[in-house]
Amino acid sequence: MAISRVELAELTGLTQPSISNIVRDLIADGIIHEVGSADSVLGRRRKLIAISPANRFGVGFNLGPDTVTCVAIDLTGGVVGREVVPRLPDEIWRADRLAERFDAFTDGLALPRDRIEGLAIVMPAPGPGGADRPQPGGGQTQPGQAQPGQAPGAAGPGLSQGAGLGLPQAAAGLGLSQAAAGLGLSQAAAGLGDDSAEVRTELEKRLGVSVLVENDAAAAALGEFWSRRVSREQAFGCIYLSTGIGAGFVFGGALYRGASFGAGELGHVSIDYAGRSCPCGNLGCVEQYASMRAIVLAAREHPGLRSRLPLDGSESSAYDAVARAAVNGDQDAYQVLDQAAERLSAAATSMVNLLDLGRLVLTGPGVARAGSIFARRLRGHLERTAHSRRRHGVTVELSAQPRDAAGIGAAALVVQASVAPGHTPGQTA
């Protein structure tokens, strides 16, 4: 899309001299370029400018339960490369492994190192205090979680190289273990090992780019916002269905993170005050009923499904088996997913009511095969019960790239921080 300096001034409210200075600097940096001219009512033709997509790139790694998804995007948010590599459950990815993957991925795409703005690593956000995602039904947390009384990433150094990109302190200035703790991420959940305090420093030294950390739901929200070209004026939300349930929000074009980078814990919204216990300390958390993990547990406890579906493998493979069966007409599998979708819809409606959202996207691996079941339930629930239903509708959409949304969002976070320093709100020193 091409635009003139006059139009930029009208859209931003900045003065013509300010716009001219900014445009001149961006042209000198190669981020934008002049593409021609257009007629003007004053007679003088206006010069048009546009983004130079291949001038900068962002790279995102999504550390999922059993895969690592690598994504690179250009300045417009267009995906220029994607790769998925296996990751064993609880496998540790230290700096050397991450650096090797980064080098192999970017070299394969022939991305010039001096045009790569940074690497963002995203992963599931575990429970309070750095505990891993709770087991449905009130099970115990996993090995490697933060111990009671353990300080999750106390004070870290000030802003590092990431500060030049306008990155928040918790993501840019701290080591990965400290940044992860600031996001509620345990070392085990991050898959970065016990020495993760040194990972960021070693990665930045080896790669020569900034490294930051984000939770997958927040990153997915930004990824969907970019890929859908959502208006900055729209209150935008995203539900990320995976082994847990998270949400991300984009207001005014920027991620909303909350006081401690913990906004969006939709999975811990209670739908039953006397329901199943959750390690977070609450009862009836929707994550105990509607996450991929909860759905797999329900399927494994169903005699019919247990006998005819391959449910003994990983959670991801077992969930995919249930989802495939549901969309192919297995009534028992459909019932398990539909019940989960109904419970998720109750929690999502509370979220929509609280934030007055106008647009909501369902994404994450949990909606990759059977997203229509969740979308149908959520649309119906919002049409009947959303507080704003008589003032405005709430658009519910399915992600076009549910397995990649978090990786795309991670890369988008890098690019956005590069071209718009300070645009993403974060903690201050």
| Three-state SS annotation for 250-290 | EECCEEECCCCCCCCCHHHCECCCCCCECCCCCECECHHHH
Give the DSSP per-residue string, 376-421: HHHHHHHHHH-TTTTT---EEEE-SSTTTHHHHHHHHHHHHHHHST
DSSP-assigned beta bridge partners for residue 211:
119
Taking the C-alpha atoms of residue 343 and residue 378, their distance in angstroms, rounded to an integer, is 9
Among 122-126, 241-245, 306-310, where is mean pLDDT lowest? Answer: 122-126
Q: Give the pair of three-digit tokens for residue 95.
A: 């700096």
Quick check: 383 and 214 in contact, CB under 8 A? no
Nearest to residue 298, comparing CAs of 268, 264, 337? 337
Residues 242 and 187 in one domain: no
**Whether residue 262 sits in one domain with residue 394:** yes
Q: Based on the domain organization, do 350 and 209 belong to the same domain? A: no
Q: Are residues 112 and 142 in the same domain?
A: yes
Residue 276: the pLDDT is: 94
Give residue 243's domain range: 229-403
CB 358 within 8 A of CB 225: no
pLDDT range class, residue 422, cuts 50, 70, 90:
low
Looking at the structure, do residues 290 and 310 belong to the same domain, yes or no? Answer: yes
User: Which CATH number fits the domain that encloses residue 206?
Assistant: 3.30.420.40
Give yes or no: residues 18 and 102 share one domain.
no
User: Comparing 331 with 263, which gets the higher pLDDT?
Assistant: 331
In three-state secondary structure terms, 115 is helix
Clarify whether residues 84 and 166 are in a common domain. Answer: yes
Q: How far apart are CA 195 and CA 202, in angstroms?
A: 11
Instruction: Using pLDDT thresholds of 50, 70 and 90, give the confidence band for residue 359.
Output: very high
382/316 same-domain check: yes
Could you give the percent of the chain with pLDDT greater than 90? 48
331: confidence class by pLDDT, cuts 50, 70, 90: very high
Q: 258: Cβ–Cβ under 8 A, 6 or more apart, which residues?
A: 264
Phi, psi (deg, nearest 5) at residue 243: -60, -25
> For 119-177, how does the pLDDT look when each residue is reduced to its tens digit (9 = 90+)?
999 888 755 654 444 344 443 333 333 333 333 333 332 223 333 333 333 333 333 33
Calculate mean pLDDT across residues 249-278: 90
Buried b (16+ CB within 10 A) or exposed e, 236-258: bbbbbbbbbbbbbbbbebbbbbe
